[in-house]
Amino acid sequence: MTTHFFTASSLDGFIATSEHSLDWLLKQDIDPEGPMAYQGFEKTIGALAMGASTYEWVMRHEEGRWGYTQPAWVFTHRDLEVPDGADIRLTRADIAEVHAEMVEAAGDKDLWVIGGGDLAGQFADAGLLDEVWVQYAPVTLGSGAPLLPRELDLELLDVARNRSFLCGRYRVLRA
Ligand SMILES: NC(=O)c1ccc[n+]([C@@H]2O[C@H](COP(=O)([O-])OP(=O)(O)OC[C@H]3O[C@@H](n4cnc5c(N)ncnc54)[C@H](OP(=O)(O)O)[C@@H]3O)[C@@H](O)[C@H]2O)c1
């Protein structure tokens, strides 16, 4: 079982603008079934985690519909609205505790920390982040939500080009 942080980023290391816009990303060309793309990756995933801003972006973007089929943990200190029937738990519990619940729920599949970058960092702080996958878009933003605001050593496992994107898959190295 592997815990992944799979995300797209600007070349200068931001995953959203300061206003939480992803317009710079959604206009890029990608083959969704191509190398290191979402469709193949998502099939390997049995449980999801995300922070409140990411959850709110998904709900805005999908106009209140919840598209994920896997059980999801949303980290927040607020009582956010959850769509009827969606398999979502709002949590402010300890990362290790949530990770254990996710492992239990995922069966023989992997875990995906969707974002943001600091939440992925919290999993890394707890020694519970195994891989980082980044699709680099050909754009710089200058500022915004950081990709992974921690000091980590990573080993490059694989690279690919998917149309406009330079894709990298890395293993998080631990002491
Ligand atoms: N480029 C991509 O592929 C990609 C991927 C993922 C996300 N994104 C975007 O990146 C941006 C990320 O936003 P962000 O940096 O603000 O990160 P975020 O993780 O989405 O949201 C941060 C919020 O999550 C809650 N939170 C985080 N850790 C917590 C913990 N341990 N316990 C309880 N609550 C916790 C807090 O919200 P409360 O105030 O509710 O407590 C915190 O303010 C979003 O705009 C998202 O849409 C882009």
Average per-residue pLDDT in the chain? Answer: 97
pLDDT of the residue at 57: 96
pLDDT of the residue at 33: 93
Cβ–Cβ < 8 Å for 28, 141: no
pLDDT of the residue at 59: 95
Rounded mean pLDDT, 12-30: 97
Q: How many residues does the chain have?
A: 175
Beta partners for residue 111, in sequence order? 3, 47
Checking if the pLDDT of 175 tops 60, the result is no
Question: What letter does residue 95 receive in the DSSP assignment?
Answer: H
For a pocket test of ligand 1, which of 17, 23, 54 has the largest count of ligand atoms closer than 8 A to its C-beta?
54
Query: Tell me: the pLDDT tens digits for 105-153?
Result: 999 999 999 999 999 999 999 999 999 999 999 999 999 999 999 999 9
Task: Determine the distance separating the centroid of ligand 1 and the alpha carbon of 63, expressed in angstroms.
Answer: 18
Q: Could you give the angle at which helices 95-106 and 117-125 cross, rounded to 10 degrees? A: 100
- Which domains occur in the chain, in start order? 3-8+36-153 (3.40.430.10)
pLDDT of the residue at 64: 83
Q: Is the CB of 76 under 6 A from ligand 1?
A: yes
pLDDT of the residue at 105: 98
pLDDT of the residue at 90: 98
Checking if the pLDDT of 174 tops 90, the result is no
Query: Tell me: the pLDDT tens digits for 44-62?
Result: 999 999 999 999 999 999 8
Spatial separation of the C-alpha atoms in residues 80 and 55, rounded to whole Å: 9
H runs (alpha helix) in the chain = 23-26, 38-42, 52-61, 95-106, 117-125
